[in-house]
Amino acid sequence: MRYLSVYDLYALPPIDWRSLVLPFGLAIAAGLVGYQTRPGFARNAFFVFAALFVVLSVGIPVFNYYYLSTQKPRVVEGAVSDYWRKDWTTRRDGKNQHHSQEGFRVNTVTFWYNRSPTAGFTNVDPVEFPIRDGLAVRIHYVPMRQISDGERINAIVKLDVAEPR
């Protein structure tokens, strides 16, 4: 069977520059406010905030990209089954937060991910593809332990879809 590559982590840059506009903008603003503030604790706090904000905004995605790109991926091939998608909104501190998850199975391997920009295929910009039951795929994935609860998820590093006949 011939496959068409839909997503390939190794062909993408580690960070999408558009995701850095807000962190760098806030860091510059905090730096300017810190510069205008009298020397002392408040001034240092603004500079520390600016530095930490940039380091975390760049460091976490780069670490995830590095981790996924240095691991030897496993491969599964077959038809998608048990596809699901869940969209919901929560309200916290008077603001709506929108969430979206998607998942499916190929043979005995289960995949699910939050639909948000991060390393690995998450079916959001820049690569969106309509996953559905019965779709023939070949997936290269890396099992990855979650920091929050220790659960292992399978991060997709390459998604190939069978070419239509």
Structural domain boundaries in the chain: 3-12+73-162, 17-70
**Can you tell me the distance from the alpha carbon of 165 to that of 163, in angstroms, rounded to the nearest whole number?**
6
Query: What's the pLDDT at 17?
Result: 66
* Residue ranges of the chain whose pLDDT lies below 70: 16-19
How crowded is the C-beta side of 140, counted as CA atoms within 13 Å?
A: 17
- What Å distances lie between residue 7 and 26, 71, 97, CA to CA? 31, 17, 27
Whether residue 143 is preceded by a cis peptide bond, meaning omega within 30 degrees of 0, is: no
pTM: 0.75
Supply the pLDDT for residue 139: 96
Average pLDDT of every residue of the chain: 84
Query: What fold characterizes domain 3-12+73-162?
Result: OB fold (Dihydrolipoamide Acetyltransferase, E2P) (2.40.50)
